[in-house]
A and B are shown apart, each in its own frame.
Chain A
Amino acid sequence: MGGRAGGPPPLSGRIGQIWRALGALFVLLVFVPPLLLLVSGSLTEPGLPPSPTPRLIPDPVSTAGYRQALAVGGVLRAALNSLLVAVVAVPLSVLVAALAGFALARLRPRAAALVVVASLAALMVPATALLVPRFTIFRALGLTDTLVPLIAPALLGTSPLYVLVYYLAFRALPRDLYDACLVEDMTPMGIWWRVALPLVRPVTAAITALTFVLTWSNFLDPLIYVYDRDLFTLPLALRSLSVLDPTNFPVFLAGAVLATGPAVLVFGLVQRRFFHHDDQTGRNRP
């Protein structure tokens, strides 16, 4: 993966290798157990007295937590709502980001710089700082307690970062390509859809995945905009599970596993791109 080009010559050869391997092992030992415990906790029989010793595999293994979570918390309904939001918001968001990124790449540098700076500023604003004003705006529009405020961030490309990523990707395409398209009398829309977009397919894949993860995990927006139980998304249903009975951990952990599953799965599919994104020149490829 890493390749030799970027790395220093091995520090004291074999011994360095062994230390690095031990280090990697240590990292695994620290970062993996919490997630294993999440699964193991969710498979514990609800209502049993806590075992005196820590154990990774619960005894007995039980799926009662899952059944209760599905029965009590309306988790299924919430999962459907989450899916609905994701199905609408994710394609819309990727579309907005790709269009905006392309437009920025084709814009005069001065105008593009202005939007880039505004995007960077928007990227900096902590999400909690926008809670109150956004809420009052949606409230004035009569859109609270609907799923609209949960889909609205798609207009921002979910995160301005993705617009900037598209901007960089489209800017990296050779200028001759655009000139050739203009000679062919293609419209900007046509160039975007038929020429530019197919060339940045890996970027689209990664951004789609990340947008899904962010949308699926969004907790803050549903928390303030949605009160109707029938409109709860999965993260919100999880919260109500834990508020309902904070001591019955197998139930809310089961819900947490159900919410984590899709996010981690999608994330796993694209994680290699994060570690390759400095490799676009190909010089670091083994």
Chain B
Amino acid sequence: MLAPYLIGLVGLVLFPAAVTLALAFTEYDLVNPPSWAGLANVSELVTDPVFRVALTNSLVFALVAVPLRVLLALGLALLLHRRSFGARPARVAALLPTAVPEIAYGLLWLWLFNPLYGPINQLLRVGGENGLTVLGRTPPQWLTDPTDARAAIILMSVFTMGETFVVLLAARRALPADVYEVAALEDATGWDVFRRVTLPLMAPVLALLVVRDLIASLHFSFVPALVVTDGGPPPYATTYLSLFIYRTGFEYLRYGYAAAATLVMMLLTVAAVVVQWRLFRRYRAFYRL
């Protein structure tokens, strides 16, 4: 009964991972059979400025977007975990962007961010003159200015934190009520309750979610960068590791080189998984798993 799944697990994940390892040391362009290249790919990666930019972009993206996503999800979970007026539709609304197909979501923002007729800049120009905002500044050039483009990708990805939100919502609801009753008896302020009760109790879940999101960020920057900013504006402002791999492999047909870059991505993933495993072990006793 387990067989189909095991075939899938081995054939679609474990074996491909092994193939990456082998492919990373070859030259392969689909036409000619792979030829052994030794460490040529690796040494080229080390000196490749584009790869370095892509790696930096990916890391910066993860370090900015992931905290924002988790903080937003936490805020929403704490705000909406109880029954109150409008909480139910608000919960659904917060989850909706996650349900929209990636590509449709990307196209939506491609339009929203358009500097001329995109709604965001139209809104920013309300009350201003000559295409300036009320404060007399030029509105952000989302698709042509490197910093604004990076901000745009981050903004897009912040909206899709639905999964994290659902998990945190469940985690918050699973907290014991009596702790809060004691806190109320002691006249604790809302901030105290958050800092001394809620946060410590949710810390394990939060830590695991942060690591998970860090890994996922390697992936969820791909479609926005491909569709909305096309890896630009020059030079490679929003070329992330995932886009670099895609371009190298599927556009420049350098599969061996792309595999070497993939290897770097997998190493990052493994590092994160190790961190996660250690966290899990530490909290295991806590959760009596």
What's the least CB distance linking A75 to chain B, in Å? 12
A2 engages B215 (CB within 8 Å): no
The contact of B112 among A37, A134, A137, by CB within 8 Å, is A37
Cα distance A134–B13 in the bound complex, in angstroms: 8
A135 to chain B, nearest CB (A): 7
Task: Return chain B residues, CB-CB under 8 Å to A34.
Answer: 97, 108-109, 112, 159
Considering the complex, which residues of chain A in the window 1-31 have a beta carbon less than 8 Å from any beta carbon of chain B? 1-9, 11, 17, 20-21, 23-25, 27-28, 31
Residues in B175-214 with C-beta less than 8 Å from chain A:
175, 177, 180-181, 183-184, 190, 193, 212
- Interface stretch (choices B45-53, B79-87, B146-154): B79-87
With A133-B23, A136-B23, A153-B12 already in contact, the answer to whether A128 and B4 are too (CB < 8 A) is no
A252 within 8 A of B: yes
B222 at the interface (CB under 8 A from A): yes
Distance in angstroms between the alpha carbons of A190 and B272 in the assembled complex: 41
Q: Using A115-B2, A253-B111 as known contacts, say yes or no to A124 and B87 having CB atoms under 8 A apart.
A: no
Check if A70 is an interface residue, CB within 8 A of chain B: no
CB–CB B19/A136 < 8 A? yes
Q: A27-B94, A54-B122, A119-B9 are in contact. Are A132 and B107 (CB under 8 A)?
A: no
Q: Is residue A80 contacting chain B, with contact meaning CB distance below 8 A?
A: no
Choose among A8, A21, A252, A271 the residue that contacts B183 (Cβ–Cβ < 8 A). A8
Taking a contact as CB atoms under 8 Å apart, the answer to whether A242 and B110 are in contact is: yes
Query: Per a CB cutoff under 8 Å, which of B12, B96, B173, B181 touches A278?
Result: B173
Interface residues in A140-176 (C-beta closer than 8 Å to B): 152-157, 160, 163
Q: Which residue of A lies closest to B266 (CB)?
A: A129
Kindly state the separation between the CA atoms of A224 and B246 in the bound complex, as whole angstroms. 9
Q: 0/1 per residue, B3-32, Cβ < 8 Å to A? A: 011111101111111011001000010100
A220 to B166 CA separation, bound complex (whole angstroms): 25
* B88 contacts chain A at the CB level, 8 A cutoff: yes
User: Once the chains bind, are A99 and B2 in contact (CB under 8 Å)?
Assistant: yes
Stretch touching chain B among A102-110, A177-185, A197-205 = A102-110
Closest to B174 in A: A278
Contact stretch, chosen from B63-71, B132-140, B254-262: B254-262
Q: Do the beta carbons of A9 and B184 come within 8 Å of each other?
A: yes
Contact status A125-B266, CB under 8 Å: yes
Q: How far is the CB of A115 from chain B (nearest CB, A)?
A: 7
1/0 contact string of B210-228 vs chain A (CB within 8 Å): 0010011011001100010
Give the distance in Å from the alpha carbon of A256 to the alpha carbon of B109 in the complex: 11
A253 touches B190 (CB 8 A): no
Q: Which residues of chain A are near B262, meaning CB under 8 Å?
A: 129, 131-133
Contact status A54-B81, CB under 8 Å: no
CA distance A132 to B242 in the complex (A): 11
| Nearest chain B CB to A26 CB, angstrom units | 8
Chain B, interface SS category: helix
Q: Contacts A8-B180, A9-B181, A189-B1 given; indicate if A37 touches B119 (C-beta within 8 A).
A: yes
Given contacts A11-B190, A136-B19, contact A5 B93 (CB under 8 A): no
Q: How far is the CB of A256 from chain B (nearest CB, A)?
A: 4
Contact A2 B87 (CB under 8 A): yes
Contacts A126-B242, A242-B227 given; does A24 touch B80 at CB 8 Å: yes
Within A252-286, the residues touching B (CB, 8 Å) are: 252-253, 255-257, 259-260, 263-264, 267-268, 271, 274-275, 277-278, 284, 286
* Neighbouring B residues of A278 by C-beta, 8 Å: 170, 173-174
Q: Is the CB of A35 within 8 A of B96?
A: yes
Q: Do residues B7 and A253 form an inter-chain contact, with CB atoms below 8 A?
A: no
Determine if B11 and A274 form an interchain contact, defined as CB atoms under 8 angstroms apart.
Answer: no
Given contacts A99-B1, A133-B259, contact A246 B110 (CB under 8 A): yes
Q: Report the Cα distance A53→B246, complex, angstroms.
A: 39
User: In the complex, how many angstroms separate the beta carbon of B275 from the nearest chain A beta carbon?
Assistant: 11
Chain A contacts of B116 at CB under 8 A?
Answer: 50
Partner of B108, one of A128, A216, A219, A253: A253
> Are B82 and A27 closer than 8 Å at their CB atoms?
no
Q: Is the CB of B99 within 8 A of A267?
A: yes
Instruction: Name the distance in Å between A134's Cβ and chain B's nearest Cβ.
Output: 5
A112 to chain B minimum Cβ distance, whole angstroms, is: 9
Q: Which of A32, A99, A124, A249 contacts B269 (CB 8 A)?
A: A124
| A24: contacting residue among B6, B8, B79, B266, CB under 8 A | B79
Shortest Cβ distance from B113 into chain A, in angstroms?
11
A75 to B95 Cα, complex, angstroms: 27
How many angstroms from the CA of A192 to the CA of B100 in the assembled complex? 34
Closest 6 CB pairs of A and B: A50-B117, A155-B8, A8-B180, A24-B86, A100-B5, A217-B101
A-B residue pairs in contact (CB < 8 Å), sample of 12:
A9-B184, A21-B85, A21-B86, A31-B97, A41-B111, A122-B14, A131-B250, A133-B16, A133-B20, A217-B101, A257-B104, A264-B100
